[in-house]
Amino acid sequence: MGSPVAVIAGLLMNLAGVILLFRYGMPYRVRTEGVNYLITEDVDKREVATERRYDLLGKLGLLLIVTGTVAQIAGALLI
């Protein structure tokens, strides 16, 4: 029998990670293929801050899913 605490903690981390990914989306980079673009509009600093927050929380969601999976594996292997 494994460690139920590690398994339950892993399940809770997975749940939190999935909720974050559904809410804030998968973090990814838009590929520019080496092309530089000239932006002639004013940059909205609030929009940039919102994009950064969404990117950070998406990465946190992925990290929680990976950490939760590792905790579940460790809980299943502990005697």
Q: What is the pTM of this model?
A: 0.76
Q: How far apart are CA 22 and CA 17, in angstroms?
A: 9
Residue 49: its pLDDT value, please?
84
Where does the pLDDT of residue 46 fall: very low under 50, low under 70, confident under 90, or very high at 90 and above? confident
Task: For helices 4-24 and 45-77, give the axis angle rounded to 10 degrees.
Answer: 160
Between CA 70 and CA 75, with CA 74 as vertex, the angle to 5 degrees is 115
Residue 44: its pLDDT value, please?
74
Alpha helices in the chain (DSSP H): 4-24, 45-77
Residue 29: its pLDDT value, please?
65
Q: Is the pLDDT of residue 62 over 90?
A: yes
